[in-house]
């Protein structure tokens, strides 16, 4: 690659400036918001890819000339099916800037950021602190900051790194949460049985880093969809100061740099850049059963129906079941939209039985048709597959122990074919949700051609877009079939922006204690990278079955994630089920019931994730950046701001050391209400039947008394568990309620119940206010205090321990 060096001002407008580099390349800076600047290069004056699917600023709308399939029901904030014009500034406020230029530098200044372009080419970034003083933020490497391939489409960007840098993000990655000192690759792979501490790459493509430096946080998001690498200090070179590097196999060098100032601000700004989190139905937060064992069995329908009975016998609440791909099998292989009627003779009868039990089905679907798929010839004749780069025939790639061809979701006819299959083979049979799986698009012919909505594109430029458009096609089919209900979808692979459509998980993990520990970090990394609705295969997917202790600890951990699914394909032909070990089934039941007790809290978090871009799963430092100890690697995490989860991830452990972030008010034991000061490490008992949990002192957690599948009409009791701080303290919180399924909350058909809690030595004063016209089945909110709390409780000026709607 060749280093870009000399520049001259080529033009400017209200959005930013353009520089001519070495007489041929165009280097552009765009001031999109006060704290958000975009930098991109047009090689020889042109973009390699003139569209983007990841950038979806929240106040933009799809243009009227979008060529989306008919009856598209995509959100207003979504990008056109054919992609957003990469040169568009639509959706950004474009606040303006000041420009200063001298012989060897050019400076662009906003109210929050200042960037200086030096000669030869490197950028220096500064931010304005709370006192209004400009402070250093980050610099490019002076000895070669930007490089472009001469005979290929490769590119690279180098920034200096500092020893104290904490670098987070990158989505779904193995190992510690702090990514500093390692090298990562973004290349979507089906990483079956991965090592959660070390395997790379994995399933998702999110080239985003969040750096904590000098009491400030900033994010860098690279909008490049080819295979990319991010070296965060693994590489050293004596000829350069310590650096970090972004490099791409192909595509454009195009990045967005934005200031926090806090880490939470950075995460929320990434979501506002790439699109809002979809608001799924309430039941999607319940327990979701799954295993490949049932659908692989020759009597799959009988095995599946037994699951309903076993849940009832063991009093295990369950809201959904993920139908693995065995229902489509011919022999041992999988054929999307093909029902194996020998295994499942009556799909409609089966789905009705699940629905009657309060359990929704989500069916596994795959975007690759094996070469002997019953519909392969028909689909090939219509030209709906990605095309080979040389012979203009459908590309062939290894898939499920055979070869197959991948559907081209940049072809409108392929989208329609897919949506017809979803509708006729699933939705019309009573299966209302889709599980979009095996969608990594491992097409090894990197120059294979995609239709590109009429403008041919090589797969190397848009590989992660294929799963994004696949899930969008499924989303719109579901929404069109049942327009009054909120869609629920799952996808394993994808890229930034996938949060607009789906819930996701960390793929086919390996069964061991190490996975339990590092999956938590993986989930938090995804959450910091804009994927808020995440979880893991509880109990482990690949390998021998977990022993009883590991299974209990994994379930206890899993119930505290947004997605809670027990799923397996065990090498020893066993199946992970809540009742797999009778001696610990009561402990599994208690853990799942704990989740159902907390569903009102979790559901409020899901609504806040959608409405306010608040992450659900949070590292402890996210709300306590002033406490340096929270940046240490830890197995602890927060679910929302108020619930501190201290999962046991070590075999045989019956005590748990927990560091309590210094929050200025302290923490209370979830079970006893015992108060502890923040900023210290305490030791909690952790018997096998208990997950150590703490609540931010002064907070209140809404809880349900219904320990069964979600049904708003039967959810007749609601409690507000208050954890008062000693002495004088104030706090606030909220509860969101609606019918759990429809879009009517957008027309005010919901309940927003806010509370303020003010306590002193004698009294606990709770002030509740409400808005919205939804009337829940419960009419009274009962206030519950820890045992031994002797202070008087006053609610809205009256001495009582309840609130009537």
Model confidence pLDDT, tens digit, residues 577-624 = 999 999 999 999 999 999 999 999 999 999 999 999 999 999 999 999
Supply the DSSP string of 466-503, one letter for each residue. Answer: HHHHHHHHHHHHHHHHSTTB---EEESSEETTGGGT-E
DSSP structure class, residue 131: T
Tokens read off for 200? 């790379």
Residue 78 maps to a domain: no
Q: What integer pLDDT is reported at residue 399 of this predicted model?
A: 96
- Same domain, yes or no: 785 and 687: no
pLDDT surpassing 70 at residue 377: yes
310: exposed, middle or buried (Cβ count in 10 Å: 0-12, 13-18, 19+): middle
Element (H, E) at 339: none
The answer to whether residues 56 and 81 touch, using CB atoms and an 8 Å cutoff, is no
Mean pLDDT in residue range 312-336: 97
Query: Can you give the CATH number for the domain in which 742 is found?
Result: 2.60.40.1180
Model confidence pLDDT, tens digit, residues 480-515 = 999 999 999 999 999 999 999 999 999 999 999 999
Rounded CA separation 490/474 (Å) = 10
Kindly report the length of the chain: 805
Tokens read off for 205? 């493509």
Model confidence pLDDT, tens digit, residues 185-194 = 999 999 999 9
- Same domain, yes or no: 467 and 580: yes
Q: What integer pLDDT is reported at residue 417 of this predicted model?
A: 98
71: exposed, middle or buried (Cβ count in 10 Å: 0-12, 13-18, 19+): exposed
- Same domain, yes or no: 687 and 705: no
Residue 67 maps to a domain: no
Residues 6+ apart with CB under 8 A from 721: 700, 701, 702, 703, 784, 785
- Picking from 55-59, 394-398, 503-507, which range would have the lowest pLDDT averaged per residue? 55-59
Model confidence pLDDT, tens digit, residues 697-723 = 999 999 999 999 999 999 999 999 999
Q: In the 3-class helix/strand/coil scheme, how is 60-105 assigned residue by residue?
A: CCCCCCCCCCCCCCCCCCCCCCCCEECCCCCCCCCCCCEEEECCCE
Q: Strand 216-222 relative to strand 288-290: parallel, antiparallel, unpaired?
A: unpaired
The answer to whether residues 503 and 563 touch, using CB atoms and an 8 Å cutoff, is yes
Query: Can you give the CATH number for the domain in which 487 is found?
Result: 3.20.20.80
pLDDT surpassing 70 at residue 651: yes
* Backbone phi and psi for residue 583, each to the nearest 5 degrees, phi listed first: -70, -20
Region of 717 please: left (phi>0), alpha (psi -120 to 50) or beta. Answer: beta
- Same domain, yes or no: 129 and 224: yes
Model confidence pLDDT, tens digit, residues 157-172 = 999 999 999 999 999 9
- Same domain, yes or no: 608 and 623: no
Give how many domains the chain has, as a whole number. 4
Q: What integer pLDDT is reported at residue 75 of this predicted model?
A: 52
Residue 601 maps to a domain: yes
- pLDDT category at 214 given cuts 50, 70, 90 is confident
* 3-state secondary structure at position 517: helix
Q: Strand 25-33 relative to strand 489-491: parallel, antiparallel, unpaired?
A: unpaired
Supply the DSSP string of 741-796, one letter for each residue. Answer: SBSGGGGT-SEEEEEEEEE-SSEEEEEEEEESS---S--EEEEE--TT--SEEEET
Residue 75 maps to a domain: no
pLDDT surpassing 90 at residue 74: no
Residue 280 maps to a domain: no
Query: Can you give the CATH number for the domain in which 98 is found?
Result: 2.60.40.1760
Range of the domain at 564: 286-375+412-444+460-612
691, 715, 731 — which closes off a domain?
Answer: 691
Q: What integer pLDDT is reported at residue 215 of this predicted model?
A: 87
Model confidence pLDDT, tens digit, residues 249-294 = 999 999 999 999 999 999 999 999 999 999 999 999 999 999 999 9
pLDDT surpassing 80 at residue 58: no
DSSP structure class, residue 401: T
- Same domain, yes or no: 648 and 543: no
Q: What integer pLDDT is reported at residue 401 of this predicted model?
A: 87
- pLDDT category at 63 given cuts 50, 70, 90 is very low
Rounded CA separation 337/374 (Å) = 10
Residue 73 maps to a domain: no
The answer to whether residues 701 and 695 touch, using CB atoms and an 8 Å cutoff, is yes
Q: What integer pLDDT is reported at residue 62 of this predicted model?
A: 37
Sign for the pseudo-dihedral over CA of 291, 296, 297, 300: positive
Model confidence pLDDT, tens digit, residues 759-788 = 999 999 999 999 999 999 999 999 999 999
* Percent of the chain scoring above 70 in pLDDT: 98
* Percent of the chain scoring above 90 in pLDDT: 96
Count the Cβ atoms, other than its own, within 10 Å of residue 789: 13
Rounded CA separation 74/561 (Å) = 27
691, 708, 725 — which closes off a domain?
Answer: 691
- Same domain, yes or no: 572 and 635: no
Q: Which residues pair with 388 in a beta bridge?
A: none
pLDDT averaged over every residue in the chain: 96
Q: What integer pLDDT is reported at residue 766 of this predicted model?
A: 98
Rounded CA separation 686/791 (Å) = 29
pLDDT surpassing 50 at residue 73: no
Model confidence pLDDT, tens digit, residues 719-766 = 999 999 999 999 999 999 999 999 999 999 999 999 999 999 999 999
Sign for the pseudo-dihedral over CA of 621, 622, 623, 626: positive
pLDDT surpassing 70 at residue 206: yes
Q: Which residues pair with 537 in a beta bridge?
A: 565
The answer to whether residues 400 and 330 touch, using CB atoms and an 8 Å cutoff, is no
Q: What integer pLDDT is reported at residue 60 of this predicted model?
A: 38
Rounded CA separation 83/450 (Å) = 14
274, 309, 335 — which closes off a domain?
Answer: 274
Residues 6+ apart with CB under 8 A from 358: 318, 319, 708, 709, 710, 711
Residues 6+ apart with CB under 8 A from 65: none
Exposure string for 674-695, b = 16+ CB within 10 A, e = fewer: ebbebbeebebebeeebbbbbb
Residue 545 maps to a domain: yes
Residue 779 maps to a domain: yes
Count the Cβ atoms, other than its own, within 10 Å of residue 239: 6
pLDDT surpassing 70 at residue 408: yes
Rounded CA separation 553/688 (Å) = 8
Q: In the 3-class helix/strand/coil scheme, how is 411-471 assigned residue by residue?
A: CHHHHHHHHHHHHHHCHHHCCCEEEECCCCCCCCCCCCEECHHHCCEEHHHHCCHHHHHHH
- Strand segments, DSSP code E, in 232-370 are 243-248, 254-259, 288-290, 320-323, 329-330, 333-334, 360-365, 368-370
Mean pLDDT in residue range 420-445: 98
DSSP structure class, residue 388: P
Count the Cβ atoms, other than its own, within 10 Å of residue 214: 15
- Same domain, yes or no: 624 and 608: no
pLDDT surpassing 90 at residue 59: no
The answer to whether residues 757 and 732 touch, using CB atoms and an 8 Å cutoff, is yes
Count the Cβ atoms, other than its own, within 10 Å of residue 299: 14
Asked if omega into 566 is within 30° of 0 (cis), the reply is no
- Same domain, yes or no: 351 and 240: no
Rounded CA separation 120/126 (Å) = 19
Exposure string for 139-158, b = 16+ CB within 10 A, e = fewer: bbbeebbbbbbeeebbbbbb
- Same domain, yes or no: 682 and 711: no
Count the Cβ atoms, other than its own, within 10 Å of residue 650: 13
Q: What integer pLDDT is reported at residue 77 of this predicted model?
A: 65
Q: Which residues pair with 303 in a beta bridge?
A: none
- Same domain, yes or no: 208 and 317: no
pLDDT surpassing 50 at residue 457: yes
- Same domain, yes or no: 659 and 786: no
């Amino acid at each position: 690659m060749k280093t870009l060096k000399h520049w001259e001002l080529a033009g400017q407008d209200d959005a930013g400036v353009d520089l001519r580099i070495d007489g041929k390349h165009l280097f552009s800076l765009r001031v999109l918001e006060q704290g958000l600047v975009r930098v991109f290069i047009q090689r020889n004056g042109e973009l390699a890819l003139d569209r983007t699917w990841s950038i979806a600023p929240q106040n933009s709308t799809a243009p009227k000339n979008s060529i989306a399939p008919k009856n598209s029901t995509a959100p207003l904030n979504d990008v056109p099916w054919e992609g957003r014009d990469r040169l568009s500034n639509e959706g950004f406020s474009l606040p303006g800037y000041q420009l200063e230029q001298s012989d060897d530098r050019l400076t662009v200044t906003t109210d929050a950021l200042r960037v200086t372009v030096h000669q030869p080419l490197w950028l220096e970034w500064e931010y304005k602190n709370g006192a209004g003083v400009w402070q250093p933020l980050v610099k490019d490497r002076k000895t070669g900051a930007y490089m472009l391939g001469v005979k290929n489409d490769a590119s690279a960007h180098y920034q200096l790194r500092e020893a104290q840098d904490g670098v987070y993000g990158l989505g779904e990655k193995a190992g510690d949460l702090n990514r500093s000192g390692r090298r990562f690759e973004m290349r979507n792979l089906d990483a079956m049985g991965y090592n959660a501490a070390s395997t790379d790459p994995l399933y998702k493509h999110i080239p985003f880093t969040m750096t904590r430096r000098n009491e400030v946080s900033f994010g860098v998001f690279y909008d490049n969809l080819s295979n990319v690498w991010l070296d965060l200090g693994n590489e050293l070179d004596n000829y350069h100061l310590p650096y970090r590097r972004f490099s791409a196999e192909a595509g454009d060098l195009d990045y967005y740099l934005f200031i926090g100032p806090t880490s939470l601000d950075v995460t929320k700004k990434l979501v506002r850049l790439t699109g809002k989190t979809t608001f799924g139905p309430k039941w999607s937060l319940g327990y979701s059963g799954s295993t490949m064992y049932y659908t692989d069995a020759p009597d799959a329908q009988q095995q599946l129906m037994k699951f309903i009975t076993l849940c009832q016998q063991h009093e295990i609440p369950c809201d959904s079941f993920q139908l693995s791909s065995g229902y489509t099998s011919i022999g041992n292989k999988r054929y999307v939209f093909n029902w194996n009627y020998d295994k499942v003779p009556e799909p409609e009868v089966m789905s009705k039985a699940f629905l009657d039990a309060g359990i929704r089905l989500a069916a596994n679907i795959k975007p690759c048709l094996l070469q002997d798929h019953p519909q392969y010839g028909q689909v090939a004749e219509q030209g709906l597959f990605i095309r080979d780069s040389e012979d203009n025939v459908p590309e062939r790639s290894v898939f499920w122990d055979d070869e197959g061809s991948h559907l081209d979701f940049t072809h409108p006819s392929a989208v329609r074919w897919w949506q017809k299959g979803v509708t006729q083979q699933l939705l019309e049979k009573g299966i209302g949700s889709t599980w979009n799986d095996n969608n990594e698009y491992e097409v090894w012919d990197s120059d294979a051609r995609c239709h590109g909505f009429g403008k041919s594109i090589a797969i190397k430029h848009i590989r992660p877009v294929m799963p994004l458009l696949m899930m969008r096609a499924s989303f719109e089919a579901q929404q069109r079939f049942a327009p009054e209900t909120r869609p629920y979808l799952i996808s394993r692979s994808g890229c930034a922006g996938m949060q607009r459509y789906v819930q996701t998980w960390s793929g086919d993990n390996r069964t061991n204690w190490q996975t339990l520990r590092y999956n938590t970090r993986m989930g938090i990394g995804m959450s910091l990278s804009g994927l808020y609705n995440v979880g893991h295969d509880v109990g482990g997917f690949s390998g021998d079955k977990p022993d009883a202790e590991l299974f209990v600890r994994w379930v206890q951990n899993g119930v505290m994630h947004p997605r809670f699914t027990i799923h397996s394909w065990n090498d020893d032909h066993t199946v992970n089920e809540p009742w797999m070990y009778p001696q610990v089934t009561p402990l599994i039941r208690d853990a799942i019931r704990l989740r159902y007790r907390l569903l009102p809290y979790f559901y409020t978090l899901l609504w806040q994730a959608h409405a306010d871009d608040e992450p659900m799963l949070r590292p402890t430092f996210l709300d306590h950046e002033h406490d340096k100890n929270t940046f240490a690697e830890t197995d602890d995490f927060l679910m929302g701001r108020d619930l501190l989860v201290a999962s046991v991830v070590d075999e045989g452990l019956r005590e748990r050391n927990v560091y309590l972030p210094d929050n200025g008010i302290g923490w209370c034991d979830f079970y006893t209400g015992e108060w502890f000061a923040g900023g210290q490490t305490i030791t909690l008992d952790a018997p096998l039947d208990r997950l150590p949990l703490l609540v931010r002192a002064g907070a209140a957690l809404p809880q349900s008394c219904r320990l069964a599948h979600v049904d708003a009409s039967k959810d007749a009791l609601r409690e507000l568990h208050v954890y008062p701080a000693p002495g004088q303290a104030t706090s606030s919180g909220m509860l969101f309620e609606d019918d759990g399924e429809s879009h009517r909350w957008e027309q005010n058909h919901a309940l927003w119940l806010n509370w303020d809690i003010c306590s002193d030595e004698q009294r606990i004063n709770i002030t509740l206010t409400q808005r919205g016209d939804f009337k829940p089945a419960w009419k009274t909110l009962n206030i519950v205090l820890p045992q031994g709390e002797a202070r008087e409780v006053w609610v809205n000026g009256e001495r009582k321990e309840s609130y009537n709607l």
